[in-house]
Chains A and B, each alone.
Chain A
Amino acid sequence: MHTFAELIIVFVILLDLALAVTGSLATCIRIAALQGVVAGLLPLLAGGHIETRTFLFAFAIIFLKGVVFPWLLLRARDRSGAGKEVETLISYPVSILLCIGAFIASSWLGSRLPLPTANVAWIVPASLATIFTGFLLITTRTKAITQVLGYLVIENGIYIFGLALFVEQPMMVELAILLDVFVAVFVMGIAIFHISREFDHIDTAELSELNDWRRPEDVK
């Protein structure tokens, strides 16, 4: 069964790269959802005896990440008139280079971190790479909705990281995190909707005019 789990890990990494280069917002949301689903399958494939509880948790996670979140995000995209494009601050080639760099750095980090040996190869680097990809989405994309997406991808990464240290309990922790993220996505969806109604766009770059910082020449 481990071979299958390892295949999924490779798939997760490929999805990271796909997220870095996809220009369509809807596709991005779906890729993140797909990543969540395959990550949710991991505990079922990790081998050994599967308890009912594990099965239920996995099901809840797959349902939330695969159905509820994309639905909420797509709805927020449509309602806020966010448009179809992912607007980036850096070009796509640079994005993918950064993503590959993040994967290399994660491999190094994974070998250095004092963790118990995982029974699935590449699981720690893959989780770290996913977290970095999430940060990449947050820091280099301008639209508010891509930031929500970034948090979701980070959450996927944290979930996989938790599986790497597989000891029953992380499921509980994961569920708690998931609940937080669920609330966050919900709140952000509403907030984005309101921001767009107020300012006719959800471009965070434009929102920077709302800050309290003044240039030196403006003072006095």
Chain B
Amino acid sequence: MVLLLLSFVILLVSAALSLCFRRSPARASAAGVYGAVAASVAGLVSAGRILLSGGTETLSLPWPVPLGSLSFNLDPLAAFFLVPVFLLTAFAAIYGSDYLKSYAGKKPLALAWAAFNLLTAAMVLVITSANAVLFMLGWELMAAASFLLVVFEHEKAQVRKAAFLYLVVGAAGALFLLLLFSLLSPSSPSFDFSTFRRPEGVLAAAAFLAALAGFGLKAGFIPFHVWLPEAHPAAPSHVSAVMSGVMIKLGIYGIMRMLSFLAPWPAWWGWTLVFIGAVSGLLGVLFALSQHDLKRMLAYSSIENVGIIILGLGLAVVGTSHGMYPLAALAFGGALLHVLNHALFKGLLFMGAGAVLHSTGTTELEALGGLAKKMPQTAFYFLVGSAAISGLPPFNGLVSEFLIYLGSFGALRAREASTVYAAALAIGSLSAIGALALACFSKAFGTCFLGEPRSANAAGAHEAGQAMRAAMAALAWACCFIGLASPLLVAPLAAAAGCVLDPRAASELLRYAPLPLSYLSAAAAAFLGAALAVALLRAFALRGRVPAAGPTWDCGYAAPTAKMQYGASSFAQPLTDFFQPALRAARHYAGIAGYFPGKTSFHTENKALFYDNFYTPAAAYIRRLAFRFSWLQQGRLQFYILYIVTALIALLIWKL
């Protein structure tokens, strides 16, 4: 705990230092980066010790805030969430030191670094706080710091719009959390988490739904996802990596933490979660498949992965409520591990997208292509990330999904029909999600890095800077490590699962997971060995010879152009056509006529379905409702004072 406190202090001090050095961007960046890395090292040691020992550390300091207490709790669940937070923020900071260099002098880098470290500090505060008031403080600080980072390029109208949306969604989420804590307060003696008790009957269900909405607005599963595809592309790439990789996971953390206060869980909670998870997984990946912008596509893919996590969590709740402890343990372990995994590969992919953006100035897929030749290392790391996120061996994405599959297949033999249905739904949707994710990332990697450049920007690309490559390499290795060494993670996962699940359920993880995971690791190692052997064989066969290189896109045409390649949307078209009822993408096709057709055009436009059909009408309704009370808003000072006086007198009389 002392080390964690130290790391927290380092973050705050380095944020302050960055601001002090605002005259010199280089020093401000150095303060930010070194602070982030030092804090991460201290924090990782602290979290790692808890995960390995399985113990819990608490700290309480005097704090004269009403209802609040400065109490922290570092249990294995908190420690498990701290690991990706510290890992990713450290690598993102290293990456950012290169990435932000080109903004020096044009943008307040000091503010960006201060906000970045403040964001990390706020995330640590959210994860470790053991009091609702302190938790809300961290939660709001997190929203404020990330908002500052999202509006980094505020001269672009789209960025301002995204930032405003993000701010509104954050405020709405905080309102739901206030509702949640007030629903919990009648049954709990104080706002300390350790004293939280489950409310009776309907109140418990209401608290669950409030938690789902409040934390869902941060986690970004459907239907609470509207801000992700806007805010993630708007932020600088290393910030997108942190936001998408770990910040939205704190919504998951919140749901898990609240579930631990609300036990025992009725089965319908689990069903709700399974359903939400399946829908946001499927729709998320479908929307991702139809995107034209690399970063926006990655944002939609985050919705998909949060869906997978929620799906696992839902299975755990269903399993616990029906006494199917192996299902609960494996699904929960899978969900938890996917939190870490997604942080690693989504961080890696956003950094890859950032490297592309940094080097070509665009993330529009139809303007890229052929980058593998210009930036081979970035391409390799992006490929690793794509394989990991599609759940391919030997990387980590497979491991977490495998745990959920393992639990679900085991549950197919359950007595209760409803558990079987839930498991079958999970298996079906998980495999569909996996296949579509594979298509999605084949498209992304293919259009971005293979073929010929589709624009002058892409043709003039250059390899990413050293710090950027180092950060990506570290994350790629981490993906590979978890893929190969997954059995090592079972004990920490079980310890973390024990903070939420029934202790009987959590121990099942130690019984059922290690053996299949060691098979999986062995298979992954064998696969990697085979790949290595093929590579060696190739090198052996080619020794002393020079392989001939030809143009990538030739196809027997006399004068091919880069435009004749498969584009991103043409690659995805067979799938998007099939899912058109769900996607409702608009097509604009001028058509061709005659034997020698003239110029024509074709483009598809993705609709933000939920935003247009649900949120915009809802916002308009709220606006109309608000205008009904516009007579209160007279614009006269006297009336406002009158309102205050009336309110004060009413309070005085009410209290008499």
Residues of A within 8 A of B (CB): 89, 109, 112-113, 135, 138-142, 147, 204-205, 207-209, 211, 213, 215-216
Contacts and interface: CB of A to CB of B under 8 A. Distances in A.
Interface string B599-627: 00000000000000000000000000001
A140 B638 contact: yes
A208 B636 contact: yes
A117 to B, nearest CB: 17
Given A216-B627, A216-B630, A147 B656 contact: no
Contacts of B630: 213, 215-216
Contacts of A211: 635
Contacts of B60: none
A213 B633 contact: yes
B552 interface: no
Given A147-B638, A204-B636, A211-B635, 15 more contacts: A109-B652, A109-B653, A113-B656, A135-B642, A135-B645, A138-B641, A139-B639, A139-B642, A141-B638, A208-B634, A209-B635, A213-B630, A213-B633, A215-B630, A216-B630
Contacts of A205: 636
B637 interface: yes
7 contacts: A109-B656, A135-B641, A139-B642, A141-B638, A205-B636, A215-B630, A216-B627
Given A138-B641, A139-B641, A216-B627, A208 B635 contact: yes
Contact of B638 (A109, A113, A139, A215): A139
Which 5 A-B residue pairs are closest in the complex by CB-CB distance?
A208-B635, A211-B635, A139-B642, A216-B627, A139-B638
A216 B627 CA distance: 7
A89 B637 CA distance: 12
Contacts of A209: 635
A181 to B, nearest CB: 16
A87 to B, nearest CB: 11
B652 A147 contact: no
A144 B177 CA distance: 42
Nearest to B643: A139
A137 B339 CA distance: 61
B52 to A, nearest CB: 56
A146 to B, nearest CB: 10
Contacts of B652: 109
Q: Identify the interface centre among B636, B641, B653: most chain A CB within 10 Å of its CB.
A: B636
A205 B638 CA distance: 9
Tell me which of B638, B641, B642, B652 has the highest count of chain A C-beta atoms within 10 A of its own C-beta: B638
Nearest to A140: B638
A94 to B, nearest CB: 14
A84 B327 CA distance: 84
A213 B639 CA distance: 14
Nearest to A208: B635
A110 to B, nearest CB: 11
A123 to B, nearest CB: 18
B656 A204 contact: no
Contacts of A142: 638
B633 A89 contact: no
B647 to A, nearest CB: 12
Nearest to A89: B638
Contacts of B638: 89, 138-142, 147, 204
A211 B653 CA distance: 32
Nearest to A212: B635
Contacts of A215: 630
A205 B641 CA distance: 14
B656 A213 contact: no
Contacts of B645: 135, 139
A207 B639 CA distance: 13
Nearest to B652: A109
A115 to B, nearest CB: 12
A133 to B, nearest CB: 12
Contact of A147 (B627, B633, B634, B637): B637
A103 to B, nearest CB: 14
A202 B428 CA distance: 72
A216 B623 CA distance: 9
B282 to A, nearest CB: 36
Nearest to B653: A109
A89 B639 CA distance: 11
Contacts of B634: 208
B300 to A, nearest CB: 30
Contacts of B639: 139
A204 B627 contact: no
A144 to B, nearest CB: 8
A207 B634 CA distance: 12
Contacts of A213: 630, 633, 635
Nearest to A216: B627
A113 B652 CA distance: 9
B656 A112 contact: yes
Contacts of A139: 638-639, 641-642, 645
B636 to A, nearest CB: 5
A209 B633 CA distance: 12
A147 B642 CA distance: 12
Contacts of B653: 109
Interface in B532-579: none
